[in-house]
Structures are given as C-alpha cells and as structure tokens.
Structure 1
C-alpha cells in the first residue's frame, strides 16, 4: 500500500464538497450561524443531519493517513517544516483577511435586528476586529476577534501534527495490535465505542466550542481519529474490511439516521428527553457516524482506488483553496441575496452558483500568481515541479496531504 491513494483523494474531495453544501445549508436552517436567510426553516435539517455526525471525523482520519505517507519519506524536521509551511500561511491569511467579512456581516445583521440599519463600515470595523476592541455583545455572549471561524479545522490540524511527532515510532508499531481489535465485527464496534464514550462522558461537560483552549471533547475525538488514521494508513486489511462491510455499514447508517430523526421529532425545540434516552441516542448518533465512514471508505476503496485522471488532479489541488474561501463567499453573498427578497429556490441556486464560481476564481488566480500560492495552501512552483518529476518515475509517489 505504497501507491498514491486515489480513493482517499476522492474521499477528501467529496468530504470538503459536502462541507461547502453544508455551509450553504446553514444559511437556511434554524440553527445559529453567522447570517441567516429570511427563508430559514427546519425543512432541510434532516438532510443536514445525514452528514453532520461524520464528515469532519472522516477528514481528520484522512489527514492522519496523509500525514503517515509524508512521515514515511521525511525526517521529523522535514515533516514538521512541510506541515507548518502548508498550514500556517492559509490560517494567517484567513484570520486577518478572509474571515473579517464574516464577522462584519454577523455584526451588521445582529445590530440590524436590535437597532435598525447601521453604518456600513461600523466605525472602523477592521481596526476593532484586529485589536479585539469591538465589544460586540448580545445576550448569548460577545464576538471575540480576531478569530479563525471555519478555519478551526486547520488550527486543530496544526496542533495535532505537532502532538503527533513524539508518537510516530509507537504508531508505526500499532497495526499489529489494531488488527486484533478491528477484526470482524470489531471494525464497527471498537471505533464506535471510542466515539460513544467520548460523546457520553466528555461532550456534556465540554460541549463543542471550536476554541482550541477548552475544546476537550472534540480534541479527544478528532485527535484520536487522526492518530487512528496515521496508524492504519498502510494496513491493507483495514481498507479491505471496509470494502467487505460497505453495504452492511451503509444500511446501519441509514437506520441510525432514521432513528435519530424520529427521536429529534419526538423532542422538538427546548423539550428535554429523559437522561437514559439521551445516552442511548448519543450512541445511535455515533453508530451513524462510524458506519458512514466505513461505508464511505469501503465504496471508495472498491471503486476509486485506481481512478486517476485530470479531474482528480485538479480537484485535489483546488479543494483546500475552496475550503479556505467558501464560507466568506457564502456569508457575503447570502447577506446581499437575502436583501433582494427572491424566491427561496432562486436565492439558493444563485448562492450555490456564486459560491462555487467564487471559489474557482480564488483558486485559479491564486495558483497563477507565484507569491500567492503558499498563502492559499498550494506548493510553490519549485515544489510542484519536483513533485511532478517524482510522480513520473517508475516508483509511485505516496499520498499527499
């Protein structure tokens, strides 16, 4: 299993694509988000719940796999340099240039509800954003700036990549122990028990904050998944088992999702179910999450592991710049589209079109300007040329990040 893993490339592309559609959906559901459409309703919330429990867990697992392929051809220093060089520039660009419009329109819409239309520049907003002096507060708390918003994934990946370094020798020896743990039904049961225990014992205490300083439930879940991905990256029996179990896992995933939707419908709004039901359905949620991941890996391994071509290469490069810019486009475009009072079908279609067109423009411009490449998560021209030469050699190149 030393060839580039095209199946995992496609999974990564698909997971980030789902994330973009999910954030478009956040504009239209009743859940709290930066800006909201006047058409917001619970209508598509069950559809959103199809991917929300597992999409990010899968991304951290894939990130662990990609890091393993990098670690096996680099020294520890080279790995650290490569990961930090790939992740820090986009994170800094996001915090200081890409995310501020999200915070600006969040404040604009909040103040509009309270006091009517405000000055479009909110008294030198950017200076207040950078210096954390905005004091934008409501009954639910204050907007803390500068912030990373959707780029919390990258901030966490930086932390996990650094925390991984001293564990690499141990993790390289783990597949032997994991082989016993995930054999047969253990493929479903063992990872599910880990996710279930974290949700039962840690989520009620810590919640999901996306604040790296006190987000311990998500740290245990995502870092554990990241380490698991690193450990099983080259363990062929894991991927073969996912392929064998893919149909059964898919059926369990849909059954768990249907049970969750029934449970949520029985306890709408602020109603509180008995504690035993909450504990049981936390397990159902994590069963949906893990079986969805097993099914996704299994189907991808069955159908996409040898599926290469220009589309995969373009999308593999484009997906991270798309992730970097997509939420800002959704927030800004959504804010102005909502003011046009269009029918919801027209508004949503335009929002999706604008989002993907804007993402492509951002990627296409960024990749053509050498100075900008590292800032949008692309390798420099020289590194890209060396990678292309490596892939043209007889020995296949390992999977990238």
Structure 2
C-alpha cells in the first residue's frame, strides 16, 4: 500500500497543542472550575473557549491513532507496546511527582487557604492525603491533572496493540473496508452518529472525570477517534475525501458552534423550563456535529495548505510533547504570582501565554541537550533525535 504523505498532521498536532496553551490560559479567566482563578473571572471569553473545547482533544487522539498505525507497521506489536510504555509511562510518573504538584499546591493555597510550605505540602502529596476539601469536593493526591491525556493514550495504545495482535491480517482488510465506507457524505454523518450514540447513552451516567477507571463516556468518544485514526491512517481515499469536504465541514462547525453558544447563553431561570428542555436532545446531536466537523475542517485545510516539510516542522514536532508536559504548571504558577501586580486581564493573559511559550521552549532546549532528562519528557536517545522529527509516513517507511 502506498503510504500517504502526512506532513500536515504534524503541523496540525503542533497547532492543537498551541491552542491548548491558549485554552488553559483561558481557564484562569472563565467561570468554570480550575486550579487557580483570576479575580476578573467572567463568562466573557467562554464562547471562544467553546469554539475549541468539543473537538481539540479528540483531534489529538485521532492523530495519535494515525501515528500508532505507522509505528505498528514499522515496529510490530511487541516493540510498539514496549516503546510506547517507555515513552509515555516514564513521563507520566515523573510528571505526577515533579511537574504537576505545584499546580495542586497553589490550588489548595487559593481554594482552602493552605498556609504550609511546599515541602510540607509534598509530604502530604506523596502520602495520598485527601483532606483538602471544600464541602464534598476533595482534592485527590497524587494526581495527573493535564497529564490525563498521557494515561489515556497509553491505555488506548495497549488496547489497540492487543486488538492488532488478535486480528492479524484481518486488520488490513478492516482498514480497507472502513476506508471504502467512509466516503462522500458518510465521512461526516457516520462518525457523528457514533459520537451521538455515545453521548445519548453514556454522558449522563458517566460524567467526565479524567480518572481513567470510571470515565466511560470519555473513553467512548476518545477511543473511537483514536481507532478511526489508526484504521484510516493509510487510506488515501479517505484523506482526499476529507480535503474535498473542508468547506462543508467548516460551515457545519461554525453553525453548530453558534447554536451551542446560543443554547448555553440561556439564563438559568429559563434553562429549566419545559420549552427549553425539549431542545436538549437535539442540542446533544448538535454538540456531536461540533465534535467531528472541526476535525474534518482542520485536517482538510491542513492537507491542502500544510502538507510540506521544513526544519521548523522537525524542531516543533520534537518539542511539542515536552512543551505539553510543562505548560500547565507554568500557567498556574505564573498566574498565581502575577496576581499582586493587578494587570488588566487582557494584558495579563497575553503575558501569560507569551511567558508560558518562552519558558516551555526554554525547558525543551534544556531537556533536549541533557541525556538523562530526555526520557523523563518522552524524548528518545540523542541518536534518535533526528528520527523523532520525521513525519508520520517516513517513520513507518524505515525498517
């Protein structure tokens, strides 16, 4: 099978993680619960947050599925599972005990007025203290916070590897059959229907927790997208169809986003009335449209305009995972420390984003040069650094 050139997926993954930095900075300023909160928190930018929140992580899981498919072809099941375990579990454990704790520390400082020092807090953190509570809401420690994505990705990779081993040659036939099925209008409609089934049947029973063991609605949507990426990775007809539907997908994305913003803007006093509640089932379907069509739009336009290589792509491809590991802790710490300065929220937000990028990439520059730090941030040995910046299709082609 001819391997498609997928430079654009690397660019999209880079773009998605940059959006994630902006999104997590935005979490400081909206009314939704987060680790630390701005005194200026309001609903002003929540419509912009909703523009990316339904699909951003689903896109990353789908791209991860594509990468897994190519690595499976290159390495085989056993080597794939060993490599992914090393590259994901080591950063996860390191992150939970070194990178993430400052987030929890400043969270309890702000939410429950904890006055102890960081060393005292760490003794509580590593021993699993669960006494930091506001009513029934207690902080569980140790925690992985934003690194939940890594835990889920490792789990899906293990499940995917097991299924690939069980299916054997039938996996290729399943991939080809799915590629034929998802053509034309079915590229849009069928995944939306699957996401809708998950939302209608599981969303109320299993609210999102990011705790892995009880997060069945999240698994239903994210593993579905991971599996679609893995099965469709080398289906050139599918990617051509995605590019052809890019404008339609963009229109559906923006239309569904506008409907969601309008619905969520209804005052609480009216939201519980029968006239409004009758629209809830339909809005769940609209939400599923807003989960899938942005992925198609981003991939479609990316394939048309970003399917090229450059030194910047190779550098950023290697940088993106260490930057992801570092970014949220930097946002939380700097947001807390900047409060006494009392900057206007717009200016402060720009400063937070810029400083997060500067310190995240500064951290990456240190990590990439120190051999002992590389595995702690998911990077391979120094000799493999060049390969880590190669596009997905070339990684698969090497034997």
Distance in 2 between residues matched to 1:338 and 1:377, nearest whole Å: 33
- Give the structure 1 partner of residue 187 of structure 2: 187
Secondary structure of 1:329's aligned partner: helix
Distance 2:355 2:270 in 1: 35
Q: 1:74 deviation in Å? A: 1.1
Tell me how large the CA RMSD over aligned residues is: 2.1
1:125–1:134 contact (8 Å) kept in structure 2 = no
Tell me the residue number matched to 1:17: 18
Task: For 1:310-329, list aligned pairs within 5 A.
Answer: 310-329=311-330
Equivalent residue for 1:262? 262
Counterpart residue number, 2:237 = 237
Following superposition of structure 1 onto structure 2, how do residues 29-44 of structure 1 map, counting pairs within 5 Å? Answer: 29-44=30-45
Q: Are the equivalent residues in 1 in contact too, given 2:40–2:345 (CA < 8 A)?
A: yes
Unpaired runs of at least 5, structure 1: 113-117
Distance 1:129 1:144 in 2: 9
Taking the aligned partners of 1:340 and 1:333, their CA distance within structure 2 comes to: 11
Aligned to 1:368: 369
Contact 1:64 1:230 in 2 (8 A): yes
* Counterpart Cα distance in 2 of 1:209 and 1:231: 27
Distance 1:278 1:15, change over 3 A: same
TM-score (norm 2): 0.93
Instruction: Report if the CA contact (8 A) 1:4-1:397 is conserved.
Output: no
Structure 1 residue 293 displacement after superposition = 0.7
Give 1:179 shift: 3.2
2:77 aligned residue: 76
1:397 Cα deviation (Å)? 3.8
How far is the alpha carbon of 1:270 from its aligned partner?
Answer: 9.1
Q: Residues 287, 238 of structure 1: CA spacing in aligned structure 2 closer, same or farther, 3 A cutoff?
A: same
Match of residue 341 from structure 2: 340
**Mapped contact 2:103–2:333 kept (Cα < 8 A):** yes
SS in 2 for 1:266: coil
Quick check: 1:11–1:296 contact (8 Å CA) kept in 2?
Answer: yes
Question: Is contact 1:3–1:396 with CA below 8 Å preserved after alignment?
Answer: no
Tell me which of 295, 298, 306 is aligned to 2:297.
295
- The count of residues paired between Structure 1 and Structure 2 equals 390
Where has structure 1 moved over 6 Å in runs of 4 or more? Answer: none
Structure 2: segments with no counterpart, 5+ residues: none
Cα distance change on mapping 1:273 and 1:96 into 2, 3 Å: farther
Deviation at 1:279, TM superposition (A): 1.2
The offset of 1:75, in angstroms, is 2.0
Paired residue for 1:111? 112
- 2:220 maps to which residue? 220
1:277 alignment partner in structure 2: 279
1:336 shift after superposition: 1.1
In structure 2, the residue corresponding to 1:313 is in which secondary structure?
A: helix
Equivalent in the alignment of 1:115: none
CA-to-aligned-CA distance 1:303-350 (integer Å, 9 cap, x gap): 112x11111111101111110010000000001112221222221122
